[in-house]
Chain A
Amino acid sequence: MSQTTQTPPAAPAETSNRVTLGWSNRLLARPEVGALVAAVVIFVFFLAVAPAFRSPGSLFTVLYQSSTIGIVAVAVGMLMIGGEFDLSAGVIVTTAGLVNAMFCYQLGINLWVGALLSLAFSLALGFLNGYLVVRTGIPSFLITLGTFFVLQGANLGVTKLVTGSVSTPNINQMAGYSSLDAVFASSFRVGTVTVEVTVLWWLLFVVLSAWILQRTKVGNWIYASGGNADSARAVGVPVRKVKIGLFMTVAFLGWFVGMHTLYKFDTLQAGNGIGNEFLYIIAAVVGGTLLTGGFGNALGVAIGAFIFGMTSLGIVYAGWDPNWFRAFLGVMLLLAVMVNLYVKKLSTARKVG
């Protein structure tokens, strides 16, 4: 990266030695740039090799696929900027759906009651994750690894106890189904393409997250809590509350996707969701979020999720063996981590001149 566009002050008499940084410096200081370049490359690549990828309809299928990961990734990205991990995010999605489905089916009550109960339960799980992390000081990786296994086992165990099998009964004849379906799992047609409502929800959550991170004091506190928690606390940032809030945000968006999955398929497999926690983390990291916290943004995480959607479907559209998808994702992750490291070094290097 050259600094040719910088103009050093010509005369020492000048009162200000302020310089305008070159566009290349400014651009590279942004976390999402690496992901954006990668997204464009992958997009062009699949346009070239997969004819089925070229229709507008498949673009919206890709967007839908991206949104199912992207919604939770919004929260996981914010949590990672805040310096913590959540490995239980994948199974919380399933837990939320299971609580709703089984509670309502067994008691025969309106699905809305179950949905709200499930929301409260998910938020309580998020609170528990956060509380244990800030209270004990044990790394969130370990705490949430614990809750991940507890929930994974409980999902299967409780479902089997209640229903006798590992899936929930079909709920599409129950009271409240149609309105919940409309909120969480409907789709509509625009011209020739089908737009899933989750795509709109995803966009809304990305915009909200971007707003919170860049333009509110809570966003400032999230960056500070992840960047240097001790310093943040010393200047009066309520670091513990911020972190608990972030874990609860992950649980909230996990609940949201859990509702989508339930009302999309009307029945849930209790073993679902395992492994998705890594997809959320990959989306965040590919999008430029620093694993150690304090750096990243909402747009980058969204692009990360979009890359996930493109590759998972692009491989299918190209007619290749979909088993290669995970290998591809692994390569993307490695590249992203290296690009992030490089970009971070550039953007924080002393600017001489």
Chain B
Amino acid sequence: MTDTLAGHADPHLQSGEPLVEMRNVGKTYGAIRALKGINLTVRAGEVTCVLGDNGAGKSTLIKIISGLHPHNEGSVKVDGKEVSFSSPRESLDHGIATVYQDLAVVPLMEVWRNFFLGSELVSGRGPFGSLKVKDMKRIADEELRKMGVTVKDINQPIGTLSGGQRQCVAIARAVYFGARVLILDEPTAALGVKQSGVVLKYTAAARDAGLGVVFITHNPHHAYLVGNHFVILKLGQAVLDKKRSEVALDELTRQMAGGDELTELSHELQQS
């Protein structure tokens, strides 16, 4: 599976170079503040883990990088240039691919059409160029097999696959098209132990191929297996921002479980 990643990764990536830099980034939806003062750097060849409870702002953070919602405070730089993506297309064109929590698949469309959706292979120019159907089917099938997923029929609607299989299609697609940065939004949340293992191997392989990986999860154990850098969000702000060498799994787990609040809670409970 590493061959896919190595094959599609941008060969000019220098390990450690900052690909995405967020400085003091904030986002408000009307009167609701979703994010405030976020500093995050995604470096080539590193996995940046973003942890947090539900509603902590994890999804908002990745929506800014993947172009679904523009930020409205601070600055986001990609490859050193200031950007404000107004559509996911722009983000994809910078080599940033995302596996969304809801997977972003169209249930009634065939597996191979979903795989290539938005990045179709065509012969001829213009919007009405002919699709290379055979190539697309072959590639989609090959890429899925590399992930250990064999669909019965590459022509079946993706809605007929199981949740785990759909997840794998979404990841395989992002790996295939994400040349520089790979964003995974809770990729292991819906998976069993074995498939989670496959996803984590992929994450590590993407890192080793030189990609910058953003791994969003609320499972500190999964994060610690692959992460180089950890950020914990709480109510839209970063409460922990440390390198792997500065933090132990215990601390991550404690922070995720509630941290100081948990200690306080235990005092309260003991008193009553």
Q: Smallest distance from the beta carbon of A293 to chain B beta carbons, Å?
A: 9
Known pairs A216-B128, A218-B127, A231-B105; A236 contacts B152 (CB<8 A): no
On whether the beta carbons of B129 and A217 are closer than 8 Å, the reply is: yes
Bits for A14-28, please: 1 = Cβ < 8 Å to B, else 0: 001111110000000
Q: Smallest distance from the beta carbon of B128 to chain A beta carbons, Å?
A: 5
Known pairs A227-B106, A227-B108; A236 contacts B127 (CB<8 A): no
On whether the beta carbons of B108 and A223 are closer than 8 Å, the reply is: yes
B68 interface residue, CB < 8 Å from A?
yes
Known pairs A17-B152, A18-B153, A234-B98; A220 contacts B120 (CB<8 A): yes
CA distance A228 to B92 in the complex (A): 19
CA distance A29 to B159 in the complex (A): 13
Partner-contacting stretch, out of B30-38, B111-119, B188-196, B215-223: B111-119
Residues in B whose Cβ lies below 8 Å from that of A236: 87-89, 92, 118-119
B133 interface residue, CB < 8 Å from A?
yes
Residues in A whose Cβ lies below 8 Å from that of B248: none
Partner-contacting stretch, out of A246-254, A315-323, A343-351: A343-351
Q: B16-73: which residues lie under 8 A (CB-CB) from chain A?
A: 66, 68
On whether the beta carbons of A220 and B104 are closer than 8 Å, the reply is: no
On whether the beta carbons of A215 and B92 are closer than 8 Å, the reply is: no
On whether the beta carbons of B130 and A216 are closer than 8 Å, the reply is: yes
Contact partner, B131, options A21, A215, A347, Cβ 8 Å: A215
On whether the beta carbons of A217 and B89 are closer than 8 Å, the reply is: no
Q: B97-111: which residues lie under 8 A (CB-CB) from chain A?
A: 98, 100, 102-109
Q: A13-66: which residues lie under 8 A (CB-CB) from chain B?
A: 16-21, 29
Q: Which of A19, A21, A348 has the most C-beta atoms of chain B within 10 angstroms of its own C-beta?
A: A348
Bits for B146-174, please: 1 = Cβ < 8 Å to A, else 0: 00001011001101101000000000010
Residues in B whose Cβ lies below 8 Å from that of A228: 104-107
Q: Smallest distance from the beta carbon of A115 to chain B beta carbons, Å?
A: 25
Bits for A218-248, please: 1 = Cβ < 8 Å to B, else 0: 1111011001101111111110000000000
On whether the beta carbons of B131 and A350 are closer than 8 Å, the reply is: no
Q: Smallest distance from the beta carbon of A246 to chain B beta carbons, Å?
A: 13
Q: Closest B-chain residue to A241, C-beta based?
A: B127
Known pairs A217-B127, A223-B113, A236-B92; A231 contacts B153 (CB<8 A): no
Return 15 A-B CB contacts under 8 Å, by A number.
A212-B128, A215-B133, A216-B122, A216-B128, A217-B122, A218-B128, A219-B131, A220-B116, A227-B106, A230-B104, A235-B104, A290-B108, A294-B109, A351-B152, A351-B156
Closest 9 CB pairs of A and B: A236-B118, A227-B106, A235-B118, A217-B120, A231-B104, A234-B104, A236-B89, A228-B106, A294-B108
- Which A positions have Cβ atoms within 8 angstroms of B? 16-21, 29, 212, 215-221, 223-224, 227-228, 230-238, 290, 294-295, 347-351, 353
